[in-house]
């Protein structure tokens, strides 16, 4: 079977937005929201408090995203919910009124698409919430409710709030706030399929699927793909799976997953012993123990052999998300760790995803701290922002960095170098994660690069001819990109 994935994803740079924390809109359409008592924007986030970010605010920041080089946005859930993260869905057909409702999303899609920016939504289809109408009907009417078979009821009476009594229904990871759907019920399956179709027809460009591995019903995700692709063959389907995902990446289900198998080793190499373990032990996506260049190469080559190349090009690669601590905090505030990780992210096969605020140095520990409000410009790390912009622009400029092959050129101590090649174009990336300068020789005979044409496209490094091809001197805790400039 020939695997087909959305072509645009191979050229995308994603920006992940937690809507309550990115930007408050100034539009007059907010109206009633002007009187809502939100938490202070700059204050530390709480588990249950709202900051008041909305989709109108995102619309007003599209210039910022475009200037960064972003051409795709992934939103954590935006549907009506009684939680700031909105993974407790009340109504799958209504954008939360605190975010601006369906009108705000419609306007956002129009404005984003005018700029060729795609929009991917978060689909929470394993479980709903206590406030979801169908489940609420059961709470009101007990065994007389027509929706009993939509959930996994185990006995009576139900106890949705009293932790001293058995819930008597299945909640995700035992959380009675999140009743699990009965996906074996054909009506439930059809309901979810129709939600996916509805929003695609509304204009969204794909779905990120929350905990899809929890849905065990045979054929469920195969039908989901068929239904989604029938509406839009270029719609992106990306699953939240943290480990080996081969069973979902066979070409009949997802186009990619959130690639934590890239995240962990990249942080372990770039941040090394700087990793603050208390922030990464739960969830553990293996960003420790520290790796040298050879150890990193082994992890990356194993990852690149795990899935078909067509799938590799549509993986969602990331360094942090709403489910992890932020990289700046994981690395103990070491900006060089963030920069080196970002260099590896933006030159790797697949779609890179920047977690909102990481590009300006936003810190944050475990949830809810990782969901801080986007800082005012006075608190931005402008050098780090410039670094992100330059690398994103480089990725957009050189097709080899998007769809070119990936070959490790050198692993020597803490120096790691690889080449991305496509047709007559090759780009070399070298990273020295060590603390002292290093001199290495890069064999470039198998590339189409000539030592006389090669120049530094990004970073600070010295190059000279050598018997092997290129002698490269690179400072400690730094990286560079080499190629033929226009």
Strands 79-81 and 89-95: antiparallel
Please tell me the distance from the alpha carbon of residue 452 to that of residue 231, in angstroms, as a whole number: 51
Please tell me the distance from the alpha carbon of residue 198 to that of residue 202, in angstroms, as a whole number: 6
Residue 475: pLDDT band by 50, 70, 90 thresholds?
very high
481 phi and psi, to 5 degrees?
A: -125, 130
Quick one: pLDDT at residue 170? 98
Beta bridge partners of 383: none
Q: In this structure, how many other beta carbons lie within 10 angstroms of the beta carbon of residue 425? A: 17
Closest CA to 143 of 132, 130, 156: 156
pLDDT > 70: percent of the chain: 98
pLDDT in tens, 238-257: 999 999 999 999 999 999 99
pLDDT in tens, 128-177: 999 999 999 999 999 999 999 999 999 999 999 999 999 999 999 999 99
Please tell me the distance from the alpha carbon of residue 84 to that of residue 471, in angstroms, as a whole number: 53
pLDDT in tens, 12-63: 999 999 999 999 998 655 666 677 889 999 999 999 999 999 999 999 999 9
Domains and CATH numbers, the chain: 7-126+183-397 (3.20.20.80), 401-483 (2.60.40.1180)
Q: In this structure, how many other beta carbons lie within 10 angstroms of the beta carbon of residue 231? A: 13
* Residue 34 annotated in active site: no
Q: Which of 96, 122, 210, 359 is catalytic?
A: 210
* Residue 412 annotated in active site: no
Asked if residue 467 has pLDDT above 90, the reply is no
pLDDT > 90: percent of the chain: 92
Please tell me the distance from the alpha carbon of residue 272 to that of residue 486, in angstroms, as a whole number: 35
Contact 207, 218 (CB under 8 A): no
- Burial letters for 254-263: b for 16+ Cβ neighbours within 10 Å, e otherwise? bbbbbbbbbb
323 phi and psi, to 5 degrees?
A: -95, 0
Strands 236-239 and 206-209: parallel
Please tell me the distance from the alpha carbon of residue 293 to that of residue 304, in angstroms, as a whole number: 16
Please tell me the distance from the alpha carbon of residue 269 to that of residue 287, in angstroms, as a whole number: 8
Quick one: pLDDT at residue 32? 65
C-alpha Rg value of the chain to the nearest Å: 23
Q: Which of 96, 240, 292, 359 is catalytic?
A: 240
Residue 468: pLDDT band by 50, 70, 90 thresholds?
confident
Query: What pTM, to 2 d.p., does this model score?
Result: 0.97
Does residue 368 have a cis bond before it (omega within 30 degrees)?
yes
Contact 475, 460 (CB under 8 A): yes
pLDDT in tens, 299-330: 999 999 999 999 999 999 999 999 999 999 99
pLDDT in tens, 78-136: 999 999 999 999 999 999 999 999 999 999 999 999 999 999 999 999 999 999 999 99
Contact 51, 21 (CB under 8 A): yes
């Amino acid at each position: 079977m020939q695997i087909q994935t959305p072509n645009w994803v191979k050229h995308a740079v994603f920006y992940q937005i937690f809507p309550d924390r990115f930007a408050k809109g100034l539009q007059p359409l907010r109206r009633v929201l002007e009187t809502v008592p939100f938490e202070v924007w700059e204050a530390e986030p709480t588990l249950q408090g709202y900051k008041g970010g909305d989709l109108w605010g995102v619309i007003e920041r599209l210039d910022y995203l475009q200037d960064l080089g972003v051409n795709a946005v992934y939103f954590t859930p935006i549907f009506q919910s009684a939680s700031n993260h909105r993974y407790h869905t009340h109504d799958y057909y209504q954008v939360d009124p605190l975010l601006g409702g369906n009108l705000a999303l419609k306007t956002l899609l129009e404005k984003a698409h005018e700029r060729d920016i795609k929009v991917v939504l978060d689909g929470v289809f394993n479980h709903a919430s206590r406030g979801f109408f169908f489940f609420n009907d059961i709470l009101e009417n007990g065994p007389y409710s027509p929706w009993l078979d939509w959930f996994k009821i185990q006995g009576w009476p139900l106890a949705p709030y009293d932790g001293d009594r058995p819930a008597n229904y299945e909640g995700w990871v035992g959380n009675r706030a999140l009743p699990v759907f009965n996906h074996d019920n054909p009506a439930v399956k059809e309901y979810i399929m129709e939600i996916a179709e509805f929003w695609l027809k509304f204009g969204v460009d794909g779905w990120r699927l929350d905990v899809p591995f929890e849905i065990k019903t045979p054929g469920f995700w195969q039908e989901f793909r068929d239904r989604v692709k029938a509406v839009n063959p270029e719609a992106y389907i990306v699953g939240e799976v943290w480990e080996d995902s081969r069973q979902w990446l066979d070409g009949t289900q997802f186009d990619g997953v959130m690639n934590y198998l890239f995240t962990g080793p990249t942080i372990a190499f770039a941040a090394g012993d700087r990793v603050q373990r208390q922030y990464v032990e739960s969830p553990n996506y293996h960003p420790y123990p520290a790796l040298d260049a050879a150890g990193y190469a082994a992890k990356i080559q194993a990852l690149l052999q795990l899935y078909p190349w067509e799938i590799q090009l549509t993986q969602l690669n990331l360094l942090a998300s709403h489910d992890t601590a932020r990289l700046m905090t994981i690395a103990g505030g070491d900006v060089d760790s963030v920069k080196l990780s970002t260099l590896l992210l933006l030159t790797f096969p697949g779609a890179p995803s920047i977690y909102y605020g990481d590009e300006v140095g936003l810190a944050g520990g475990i949830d809810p701290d990782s969901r801080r409000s986007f800082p005012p410009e006075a608190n931005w790390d402008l050098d780090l922002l410039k670094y992100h912009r330059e690398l994103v622009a480089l990725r957009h400029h050189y097709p080899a960095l998007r769809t070119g092959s990936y070959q490790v050129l050198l692993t020597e101590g803490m120096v790691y170098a690889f080449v991305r090649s496509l047709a007559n174009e090759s780009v070399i990336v070298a990273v020295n994660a060590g603390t002292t300068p290093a001199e290495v020789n890069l064999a470039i005979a198998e590339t189409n690069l000539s030592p006389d044409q090669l120049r530094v496209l990004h970073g600070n490094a010295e190059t000279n001819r050598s018997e092997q091809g290129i002698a490269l001197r690179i400072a400690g805790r730094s990286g560079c990109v080499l190629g033929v400039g226009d």
